[in-house]
Structure 1
Amino acid sequence: MLSALILTGAAGRRSSVLLPSVLLRGAAALALATCLTTSLVGTASAQDGFTPKGPVTMIVPFGPGGGSDLMARSMAAGITTVHPDVQVAVENRPGGNGVIGYNYLRQNKGNPQMLLASETAAVALPLLIQPPPFQWTDFTPVAQIAADSQLLVVPYNAPYKGLDDFLAAAKQKKFRVGLTSTTSSDAIVANLLSRSQNVAFQPVVLESGSASVARLLNGDIEFTILNPSETIGQLKAKMLRPLAAFSEVRYPADSPLGSVPTAKEQGVDVSFAQYRGLYAAGGITKDQADYWADTMEAWTKTPAYKDYIAKNNLFPEFRRGDDFKAYLEKTQATLKQALKKD
């Protein structure tokens, strides 16, 4: 057990190491102490010395099985890949379109071992609920790990084959669109598309992306807007057809969506990416936030991260610290415009 020799790291953190007294004499003792100091720092952030002690919790503010849940479990596994001694328990706290999970994180202010798998709802919810249940600034935005864009999807046998055909038909008849909530990224994109093209849609709010797919296949709605992970199976089976990707650029040519044109390519200047990333509780120190940001950055260089991106048709996009906060401020401004009432 390490308990006798006191080692002090760069940030003043003291670690105790038990050594036989005979080894504390001469050059051999000095070399061993140096070696043990390096071992104790390990893969932690060398500049601070913060290392999690005991359980780490990763909150998912939505139910199991969705994109946020998958992200949380991938990030939790990634943390353990980078720091094998750190184990992360994933905890689903769904409800209120994410409000319950985010408020639980807020209640744990100052706890550096309370994390949350975050996406655009963190910025959208405070704009839509009065009084706001929280602000994203109540938390510590650690890092963005990816961007997740949406697809406009119709039944495979629908008569329109491109976005121009679709919009022409939508101006003749008020199309029903399946949305997972009024605050979700699909609702944001539908609103941006409606404003951009001066066309009205009838929202049909459903409980999940899979419910939207089922209603679309059943003919209860004319279209839906979903993340690729929610509909890729039906697209591959040629049950549904993607008319446009609301991304800045096309998906990679070797992906299943490489042939899907962007909305901008089709003359519709609408793009929006849902960020996927990691939040920590508010009120933690910079050293603690840097530890988690360093960990996420290290994970993005592993094969497991690349596999997560490829399997879910995400765009790899990493921002940390102040860069991530600046991105969130810009996102908030975009959402204020997209979600404002006419």
Structure 2
Amino acid sequence: MRALSCGRRVLAALSTVALLSSCALGATGQEQAGAPRPVGPVTMVVPFAAGGGSDISGRAVADGLAAARPGLRVDVDNREGGQGAVGYSYLLSKAGSPNYLLATETSLLSLPLSVEVAFSHRSFTPVMKLGEDYTLLVALPGSPITSCADAVAQSRHRRVLAGISGAVGPDAVVFSELQRRSGADFDTVPYEGGGETMAAVLGGQVELASLNPSEVMGQLRAGELKALCVFAEQRYDYPQLAHVPTSLEQGIPVSFAQFRGVIAPGGLSPQATTYWIDAARSFAGSPAYRDYIASEFLQPRMAFGEEFAAYLAEAETTLAQVVRR
């Protein structure tokens, strides 16, 4: 698996350019620095392209927060590029402003561990961990690959292209672990988001794809794709996915869940931090949150504020053992 170790200089350059550009655009956010609560429209930054899991998450949370706080307006702004570095760098430039949020996931941890960027999870204010999301390995129905174990076996003898979202994101971690633990040798092709990865496997540009259930459920139901396994320790309880075997069942000792959450810029006032955590708790207790979790087939493992920060620190330590190999 080559994608995890290649292209680091390119990603570093992208993130540096993004930071310089976003600093030039950051005046509006800086005007609100130190404010006790947002004033006017709020921007939910999605650091990946439209159509993927991060985009779905950002839009669901934006709507849920607006519903939980009457009068609040939250607009979604997709700022993809640099495998997420562009969006995170943009949020970095809004330090102190309560008018910005970001739909985050595991790239918040894997990017700083893999490439030279100007941020880490400590650069931002943790608001809410929404839940955990396991990835599926999928292929076209007519593919000769019939399981995850079969995919690993075939990758040792022929070239197998696998699409992933981001060169250093959760999918890359899964394939890195496949190589380390099972001797697989996939050629991974990184895309900017789940939507592009989906298009690649449906169009035959890659033979396999690593996608979250929410990204691929429509295609599974329509018979356009088949699920080979889920990289989890236990099968999903959701009826639509209960038939999908785990990687462990197939003798592949790889299990990895990415988190989904919401962060705000660093340097928020205590009042603004409390405002967003309270709003997130209101969202978490609403039917909108339960509908989001169910529709995206997530595990509803929540954390708020300092508890979310502690989770990030622990997950960073675990992830470093994989990403920095």
Q: Give the structure-1-normalised TM-score.
A: 0.78
> Counterparts of 1:110 and 1:208 in 2: how far apart (Å)?
28
1:281 aligns with 2:265: yes
Alignment counterpart, residue 75 of structure 1, candidates 61, 72, 84: 61
Note the alpha carbon deviations across 1:33-89, whole angstroms, 9 max, x for none.
xxxxxxxxxxxxxxxxx5533332222222333222221221111112111122222
1:262 aligns with 2:246: yes
| 1:172 corresponding residue in structure 2 | 157
1:96 aligns with 2:82: yes
Cα drift, residue 229 of structure 1? 2.2
Structure 2: runs of 5+ lacking an equivalent: 1-35
Note the alpha carbon deviations across 1:242-292, whole angstroms, 9 max, x for none.
1111134322242x2121122123332211111111101101134422321
Alignment counterpart, residue 231 of structure 1, candidates 216, 230, 245: 216
1:335 aligns with 2:324: no
> Counterparts of 1:199 and 1:245 in 2: how far apart (Å)?
17
> Counterparts of 2:47 and 2:192 in 1: how far apart (Å)?
14
The residue type paired with residue 306 of structure 1 is R
Cα drift, residue 189 of structure 1? 1.0
The residue type paired with residue 66 of structure 2 is T
Q: Is the 8 A contact 1:99 1:133 kept in 2?
A: no
The residue type paired with residue 70 of structure 2 is P
The residue type paired with residue 219 of structure 2 is Q
Aligned residue for 2:126, secondary structure, equals: strand
Note the alpha carbon deviations across 1:277-326, whole angstroms, 9 max, x for none.
11011011344223212221221222211211222222212111222112
1:119 aligns with 2:136: no
> Counterparts of 1:219 and 1:61 in 2: how far apart (Å)?
26
Cα drift, residue 219 of structure 1? 4.1
The residue type paired with residue 194 of structure 2 is G
1:198 aligns with 2:183: yes
> Counterparts of 1:222 and 1:63 in 2: how far apart (Å)?
22
Mark the CA change 1:114 to 1:206 in structure 2 (over 3 Å): closer, same or farther.
closer
> Counterparts of 2:143 and 2:235 in 1: how far apart (Å)?
23
> Counterparts of 2:196 and 2:99 in 1: how far apart (Å)?
35
Bigger relative contact order (CA 8 A; separation at least 6): 2
Structure 1: runs of 5+ lacking an equivalent: 1-49
Aligned residue for 1:316, secondary structure, equals: coil
| 1:15 corresponding residue in structure 2 | none
| 2:237 corresponding residue in structure 1 | 252
> Counterparts of 1:101 and 1:206 in 2: how far apart (Å)?
15
Cα drift, residue 231 of structure 1? 1.8
Q: Report matched runs for 1:142-181 at 5 Å.
A: 142-181=127-166
> Counterparts of 1:204 and 1:135 in 2: how far apart (Å)?
25
The residue type paired with residue 160 of structure 2 is F
Higher deviation after alignment, 118-127 or 172-181:
172-181
Mark the CA change 1:92 to 1:218 in structure 2 (over 3 Å): closer, same or farther.
closer
Mark the CA change 1:156 to 1:61 in structure 2 (over 3 Å): closer, same or farther.
same
Q: Report matched runs for 1:10-29 at 5 Å.
A: none
Cα drift, residue 197 of structure 1? 0.6
Mark the CA change 1:102 to 1:208 in structure 2 (over 3 Å): closer, same or farther.
closer
Cα drift, residue 227 of structure 1? 1.1
Aligned residue for 1:53, secondary structure, equals: coil
| 2:31 corresponding residue in structure 1 | none
Cα drift, residue 93 of structure 1? 2.1
Mark the CA change 1:333 to 1:320 in structure 2 (over 3 Å): closer, same or farther.
same
> Counterparts of 1:148 and 1:246 in 2: how far apart (Å)?
10
Mark the CA change 1:220 to 1:93 in structure 2 (over 3 Å): closer, same or farther.
closer
| 1:34 corresponding residue in structure 2 | none
Mark the CA change 1:56 to 1:164 in structure 2 (over 3 Å): closer, same or farther.
closer
Q: Is the 8 A contact 2:127 2:304 kept in 1?
A: yes
**Structure index of larger Rg:** 1
> Counterparts of 2:189 and 2:66 in 1: how far apart (Å)?
40
> Counterparts of 1:66 and 1:212 in 2: how far apart (Å)?
9
Question: Share of identical aligned residues, percent?
Answer: 40
